[in-house]
Amino acid sequence: MKKATSLAEENYLKAIYKLHERNGAMVSTSALAESLQVNAASVTDFIKKMAAKKLISYEKSRGVMLTEKGRLIALSIIRKHRLWEVWLVTNLGFKWDEVHEIAEQLEHVISDELIEQLDKHLGYPKTDPHGDLIPDAKGRFIKNSSKPLLDCAAGDRVKFTGVAEHSNSFLQYLTRSNIKLGDELLVESIEEFDKSFQVKINNKERKLLSKEVVKNLLVMLL
């Protein structure tokens, strides 16, 4: 069982997948360089080699896209990352803002049996601790209908299902504000001037959330 994909390749594939997911279309050299914290010249070099391996398609000076082969590898890394995050939170007692760095390492461990057993051990979770969907072993996941709370109207009753921003400072802000995944939010009013939202959480506490916050809270209508 030899290693077909290097650590660097796995990280490039994952970065390309995520940049494509957020911005659509082709991924630019500079976006990749920024995301991977690597010099743009190094990226140009590397993507040429990846294109030769048919992991991505590359149009000179225009950017890259994942091939089906590359997309499946990216999804398997993302699957591993998210399953490990679930394990770290539910079995080892880590907080949702403490697991990403560790999962960044664990996601590269190679063993199909391991990841299958882990999935089973966790009870086949559909989402990770941040509400992100976990693809199945074949790279498929059920897209859900969550959207930013910002897009909701006064009077909407929704469930908090995920975050659009994964920074520790945002996750910690939510923890301090006692807003947890699965909470029910009622939009009581929206301030026209600054788009801040007055919400009621789980029919109990009232909270004022800034536009910056509601933009990054993903919710589903109840």
Partner DNA sequence: AAAATAAATTAGGTAAGCCTAATTATGTAT
Partner DNA sequence: ATACATAATTAGGCTTACCTAATTTATTTT
Tell which positions 40-69 bind DNA, by CB under 7 A: 40-49, 58, 60-61, 63
Distances in whole angstroms, Cα of residue 44 to Cα of each of 30, 38, 200:
9, 11, 49
Q: Decide which of Mn ion, a copy of itself, DNA, none touches 175; Cβ closer than 5 to 8 Å per partner kind.
A: none
Task: Determine contact, residues 76/13, Cβ cutoff 8 Å.
Answer: no
Q: Which one, 125 or 139, has the nearer CB to Mn ion?
A: 125
Distances in whole angstroms, Cα of residue 92 to Cα of each of 80, 98, 123:
17, 11, 16
Task: Determine contact, residues 98/89, Cβ cutoff 8 Å.
Answer: no
Q: Decide which of Mn ion, DNA, a copy of itself, none touches 100; Cβ closer than 5 to 8 Å per partner kind.
A: Mn ion
DSSP string, 48-69: HHHHHTTSEEEETTTEEEE-HH
Determine the size of the site formed for DNA (CB under 7 A). Answer: 27
Q: Which one, 16 or 133, has the nearer CB to DNA?
A: 16
Print the binding letters for residues 1-20 with DNA: x by CB under 7 A, - otherwise: -----xxxx-x---------
Backbone angles phi, psi at 73, to 5 degrees: -65, -45
Q: Which one, 43 or 78, has the nearer CB to DNA?
A: 43
Alpha helices in the chain (DSSP H): 7-23, 29-36, 40-52, 68-90, 100-106, 112-121, 168-176, 211-216
Task: Determine contact, residues 72/139, Cβ cutoff 8 Å.
Answer: yes
Q: Does 110 bind a copy of itself (CB under 8 A)?
A: yes
Q: Decide which of DNA, a copy of itself, Mn ion, none touches 63; Cβ closer than 5 to 8 Å per partner kind.
A: DNA
Q: Least CB distance from residue 59 to DNA, whole Å?
A: 8
Q: Which one, 120 or 204, has the nearer CB to a copy of itself?
A: 120
Q: Which one, 9 or 183, has the nearer CB to a copy of itself?
A: 9
One-letter amino acid for residue 56 of the chain: I
Q: How far apart are CA 191 and CA 98, in angstroms?
A: 34
Tell which positions 25-44 bind DNA, by CB under 7 A: 28-31, 33, 37-44
Q: Decide which of a copy of itself, Mn ion, DNA, none touches 128; Cβ closer than 5 to 8 Å per partner kind.
A: Mn ion
Print the binding letters for residues 111-130 with a copy of itself: x by CB under 8 A, - otherwise: x-xx--xx--x---------
The candidate with the shortest Cα–Cα distance to 99, out of 76, 135, 63, 129, is 129
Which chain residues interact with a copy of itself by CB under 8 A? 88, 91-94, 98, 101-102, 105-106, 109-111, 113-114, 117-118, 121
